[in-house]
Amino acid sequence: MNLIKGLSSKKKVEQAVQTEESVEAQVEESKQEESTVEDQPIIMDSLTTKLHNVVHEIVESREALKHQVEERNDQINDLEAKIKEILHEKNFLEGKINNLSKEILKMEDHAGDLKVQNEQLQNEFNAFRVQHEKEIQELQDTLTEREVTNRQLMLDLNRSQQEKEHKIRELESDARDQQIKYKHLDEKYNKLFAEKERLLKVINNFASEATAFASSNQSMESK
Mean pLDDT of all residues in 199-209: 84
Query: Cα separation of 27 and 23, whole Å?
Result: 6
If one compares 221 and 85, the residue with the highest pLDDT of the two is 85
Question: What's the mean pLDDT when you consider all of the chain?
Answer: 76
pLDDT of amino acid 17: 44
Mean pLDDT score, 160-186: 87
Provide the 10 A C-beta neighbour count for residue 23: 14
What percent of the chain has a predicted confidence (pLDDT) above 90? 1
Looking at the structure of the chain, the number of domains it has is 1
SS (H, E, C) the chain: CHHHHHHHHHHHHHHHHHHHHHHHHHHHHHHHHHHCCCCCCHHHHHHHHHHHHHHHHHHHHHHHHHHHHHHHHHHHHHHHHHHHHHHHHHHHHHHHHHHHHHHHHHHHHHHHHHHHHHHHHHHHHHHHHHHHHHHHHHHHHHHHHHCCCCHHHHHHHHHHHHHHHHHHHHHHHHHHHHHHHHHHHHHHHHHHHHHHHHHHHHHHHHHHHHHHHHHHHHHHHHC
* Residue 14 pLDDT > 80: no
Rounded to whole angstroms, how far apart are CA atoms 56 and 66?
15
In this predicted model, what pLDDT tens digit does every residue of 146-159 receive, in sequence order?
A: 676 767 767 877 88
Q: What is the pLDDT of residue 73?
A: 87
- Taking alpha carbons only, the member of 167, 175, 174, 169 closest to residue 135 is 167
| Residues 42-60 pLDDT 10s | 666 677 777 777 777 887 8
pLDDT value at residue 206:
82
Q: What is the pLDDT of residue 7?
A: 41
Task: With a cut of 80, say whether residue 116 has pLDDT above it.
Answer: yes
Structural domain boundaries enclosing 48: 2-222
